[in-house]
Amino acid sequence: MTRFSQSDLLNSLPRQFFASLVKKAGIYIEQGHDVINLGQGNPDQPTPGHIVKALQAAAENPVNHKYSPFQGFRYLKEAAAEFYKREYEVELDPDTEVAVLFGGKAGLVEIPQCLLNPGDTVLVPDPGYPDYWSGVALARAEMLYMPLLEQNGFLPDYHDLSADALAKAKLMFLNYPNNPTGATATLPFFAETVTLAKQHDICVVHDFAYGAIGFDQQKPISFLQAEGAKEVGIEIYTLSKTYNMAGWRVGFAIGNKSVISAINLLQDHLYVSLFGAVQEAAAAALLESQECVEELNQLYESRRNTFINGLQSIGWEVAAPKGSFFAWLKVPPAFTSQQFSDYLLENAHIVVAPGIGFGQWGEGYVRAGLLTSEERLQEAVRRIESLEIFDKGD
């Protein structure tokens, strides 16, 4: 059989970090070990029943057996606008300021291809979600990294960006609540971001994937709540985390009209929109009772408290995340993040993601997902305690 060579573009893409993580864990699972997988970001709860029922009913409607409108049904864009008005007091025009997406990841990867030319510069958070890099690589653009440091609350310090970097930058990715650090942003920070973007003609893309998950009675803030935000950027929202709809692949981009238009144009060439029944179910999720969202948030907060308190009780000095369903944990001084991740897998059969996989400033940490039961999180704490690498100080 002839083996055809991959294109230079495909060969230039970053290595899929999570694929290798899954492969490593799979080896231990195949050997029969009881592996506690805290390494991925795949929600473990089922989609709420009323959303599933909406899909089932819509799937029986012959209207949804045809191609959907290229840019999605207007009712879904209206639902997204109503959702943002209700939750964040942000006004949106469904026709010009909302684009339907095949999940948030698709939008994040598409944006650089919509706005950049080869050699253009993108500001990306470090540590950050690796798929930002994929979109930049597909656009053949260049990345400049914004370190997210603990002393700054894991927010980028714009004063550290050189005049040259700001002059070159055409796009900036932000993500709060943050993956992997669990940090949240403030309205003054977003206001500062808007000012910077206006001064340097930078398009801001805020990844709001974990927008529904905030702890200690602090609701995460939308970038679009900052005055002037729609003038300089967009926000990408996914239903994957808010409604446990990760496998449904539905989200939306909102904000700056020119960027929304560019996304729609690119997608016109790639897709014929989402299955209509999924769009109907997504609208139901956004518009109907939000009790399921509140319950999910409480579940994650309870898991966070169980896990973080447990780790602190065995002498591991860790901080509780303010949002998202991730914990960002400092590794012991004797290890790199990759070494510690491997050590936990080999000796405790626990999967965590090494911080280096999220960028060079992720070194010194591992990311753990709160995506299993409290009982399993407690078991993970017991296994880590048995390794005797932390001093309880008692």
Residue with tokens 């990715």: 173
- Give me the amino acid identity at 354: P
In sequence order, the 6+-apart residues with CB closer than 8 A to the CB of 175 are: 125, 128, 129, 206, 207, 208, 209
Grouped pLDDT means (10 residues each) for the chain, 394 residues: 90 79 85 91 93 97 93 97 98 98 95 96 96 93 96 96 94 98 98 97 98 96 98 97 95 98 95 94 97 97 97 95 97 94 94 95 97 96 93 66
Beta strands in 63-210 (DSSP E): 98-101, 121-126, 142-147, 169-175, 203-207
Q: Nearest-CA neighbor of 208 among 227, 228, 234?
A: 234
CA distance linking residue 215 with residue 212, whole number of Å: 10
- Rounded to 5 degrees, φ, ψ at 154 are 60, 30
User: DSSP label at 46?
Assistant: P
The β-bridge relationship of strands 350-351 and 36-37 is parallel
**pLDDT, position 380:** 97
* Domains by residue range for the chain, with CATH: 8-46+292-386 (3.90.1150.10), 51-287 (3.40.640.10)
**pLDDT, position 101:** 97
**pLDDT, position 23:** 84
In sequence order, the 6+-apart residues with CB closer than 8 A to the CB of 341 are: 39, 351, 352, 353, 354, 366
In sequence order, the 6+-apart residues with CB closer than 8 A to the CB of 373 are: 303
Q: Could you tell me how far CA 291 lies from the centroid of its own chain?
A: 22
Is residue 277 packed enough to be buried (19+ CB in 10 Å), middle (13-18) or exposed (0-12)? buried
**pLDDT, position 393:** 62
Q: Nearest-CA neighbor of 374 among 304, 281, 316?
A: 304
pTM of the model: 0.95
**pLDDT, position 40:** 84
CA distance linking residue 131 with residue 114, whole number of Å: 16
Three-state SS for 110? helix
The β-bridge relationship of strands 365-369 and 353-354 is antiparallel
In sequence order, the 6+-apart residues with CB closer than 8 A to the CB of 34 are: 349
CB 282 within 8 A of CB 58: no
Q: Could you tell me how far CA 91 lies from the centroid of its own chain?
A: 24
